[in-house]
Amino acid sequence: MGLLTLLVLAVSIDGFSAGFSFGLRRLVIPLYSLLIICLFSSLAAVFSMLIGSRVAMLIPVSWLPSVGGAILIILGVYIIISDFRKSRQPALPEWEREEVDAENGSSLRILTSISKCPDKADLDCSGKLSAGEAALLGLVLSADVFGAGIGASLIGLPIFLTAMAVGAAQLLLIPLGAGCGRLMSGLVSLKMTSLWAGFILIFVGLINML
């Protein structure tokens, strides 16, 4: 149960960061949009863990904890490296960011923009996250869930309990992050929140490999 809690926290912490970004800009996340994001995360967990269960059939049982742990460690290292690279990139002024978004409107560029700055999911600048915008944000946030889900399946975590826990964590952490963002607007930022997710995944992976 402890490993499940740590894993869910690791893959859901970006939800807190996304909510925080929305809170800083006073953007509204309606309940239906929040539920869409949670659904994407839960589905990503289910699909990735089903894939992991298929992969497990091809691997000797005695190897499963080590292989699953290695996948989690690799994902954790990747997240940390990616976060360092993002943190070293100079932030664009707001007006320049808007120009870039207007010029580069392809789906891939939009997803990349949202992954770097979650509050850019508000594509129409309405101040409220619509259902379609929530789906885009949910897709971005589910990327880490998908990667970790394969490793989680290999180390023996239950599929549907993990999926429900991931969805519930997003349901709690996104509004919590938004509330903190509103309270601390202008005082702090969470540029390197993903570092914690990376370290937690590495920790869980090491526990299963030892």
pLDDT of residue 92: 47
pLDDT classification of 168: cutoffs 50, 70, 90 = very high
Going from the C-alpha of 93 to that of each of 98, 99, 120, the distances in angstroms are: 9, 10, 13
Pick the most confident of 79-93, 163-177, 183-197: 163-177
**Cβ atoms of residues 33 and 131 within 8 Å:** yes
pLDDT of residue 43: 95
Tell me what the mean pLDDT of segment 71-85 comes to. Answer: 83
pLDDT of residue 95: 42
Tell me what the mean pLDDT of segment 35-42 comes to. Answer: 94
Provide DSSP, the chain: -HHHHHHHHHHHHHHHHHHHHHHHTT-B--HHHHHHHHHHHHHHHHHHHHHHHHHHTTS-GGGHHHHHHHHHHHHHHHHHHHHHHHHHSPPPPHHHHHHHHHH--SHHHHHHHHHH-GGGG-TT--SB--HHHHHHHHHHHHHHHHHHHHHHHHTT--HHHHHHHHHHHHHHHHHHHHHHHHHTTTT---TTTHHHHHHHHHHHHHHHH-
d(CA 101, CA 109): 8
pLDDT at 173 over 70: yes
Q: Which residue has the higher pLDDT, 2 or 16?
A: 16
Pick the most confident of 29-43, 122-136, 184-198: 29-43
The pair of structure tokens assigned to 30 is: 């309606």
How many CA atoms lie within 13 Å of 165's alpha carbon, on the beta-carbon side? 21
**Cβ atoms of residues 200 and 46 within 8 Å:** no
The pair of structure tokens assigned to 150 is: 């394969």
pTM flag (> 0.85): no
pLDDT at 108 over 80: no
Tell me what the mean pLDDT of segment 93-114 comes to. Answer: 51
Q: Where are the domains of the chain?
A: 2-63+95-189
